[in-house]
């Protein structure tokens, strides 16, 4: 088990669109295992590769509860192929955006295609929390943070607070 460092806003890799994975190999498999270990350790519901400084289209997700067995979903090169018109606002947080939880509007249902850890085609239809996490992680892979989906004033306040906090750490 190797835990990876989760990069935090305003790290530039978080705004970078990730590159497609052209083939699975041992290095990618190790990255996926390390991302999974890191997600559970953090703890989080999902983790995109660029959150650990690797701009590759890989996401790991698990929305199971503490009472349920782990159900890790690995998606390589994910893309949303269907999205419902019905949406709702719900609170989100992000391992790369510390000290902020706020409401974000997301579609209630999405269908995502990609490949699994073995390179097999994968199609997942997620509703509610799974739909939200799929959208959140795919946003990461496209260089979009959840703070890009909130109001300008709230985002501006967070950015100022974050810059002030980081300036204080450098002293």
Q: Assess if residue 117 is contained within a domain.
A: yes
Whether residue 83 lies inside any domain: the answer is yes
List residues bridging with 92 in a β-sheet.
Answer: 102
Give the per-residue pLDDT at 66.
85
**Over 80: is that where the pLDDT of 123 sits?**
yes
The conformation of residue 4, written as its DSSP 8-state character, comes to P
- Residue span of the structural domain in which 69 resides: 12-170
Let me know if residue 33 belongs to a domain: yes
- Quote the pLDDT of residue 87: 97
pLDDT band at 171 (very low <50, low <70, confident <90, very high): low
The answer to the question of residue 4 being in a domain is no
In a domain, residue 124? The reply is yes
Span 137-162, average pLDDT: 96
Residue 5 pLDDT > 90, yes or no? Answer: yes
Number of separate domains in the chain: 1
Q: Is residue 1 part of a domain?
A: no
Q: In CATH, what number is assigned to the domain containing residue 104?
A: 3.90.45.10
pLDDT greater than 70 at residue 101: yes
8 Å CB contact between 135 and 111: no
Residue 2 lies in a domain: no
Q: What is the DSSP letter of 142?
A: T
Residue 103: active-site member: no
Q: Is residue 5 a part of any domain in this protein?
A: no
The larger pLDDT score, comparing residue 165 to residue 82, is at: 82
168, pLDDT greater than 90: no
- β partners of residue 109: 127
User: Confidence class of residue 167 from pLDDT cuts 50, 70 and 90?
Assistant: confident
Spatial neighbors of 139 by CB under 8 A, at least 6 apart, are 145, 146, 148, 149
Model-level pTM? 0.94
pLDDT in tens, 31-90: 999 999 999 999 999 999 999 999 999 999 999 988 999 999 999 999 999 999 999 999
């Amino acid at each position: 088990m190797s835990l990876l460092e989760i990069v935090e806003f305003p790290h530039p890799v978080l705004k970078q669109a990730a590159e497609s994975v052209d083939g699975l190999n041992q290095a990618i498999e190790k990255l996926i295992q390390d991302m999974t270990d890191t997600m559970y350790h953090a703890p989080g519901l999902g983790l995109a590769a660029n959150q650990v400084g690797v701009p590759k289209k890989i996401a790991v997700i698990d929305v199971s509860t503490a009472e349920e067995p782990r159900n890790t979903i690995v998606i390589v090169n994910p893309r949303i192929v269907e999205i419902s018109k019905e949406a709702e606002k719900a609170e989100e947080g992000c391992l790369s955006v510390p000290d902020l939880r706020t409401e974000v509007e997301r579609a209630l249902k999405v269908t995502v295609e990609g490949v699994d850890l073995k390179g097999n085609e994968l199609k997942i239809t997620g509703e509610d929390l799974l739909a939200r996490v799929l959208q959140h992680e795919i946003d990461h892979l496209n260089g979009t943070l959840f703070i890009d989906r909130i109001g300008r004033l709230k985002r501006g306040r967070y950015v100022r607070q974050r810059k002030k906090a980081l300036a204080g750490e450098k002293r």
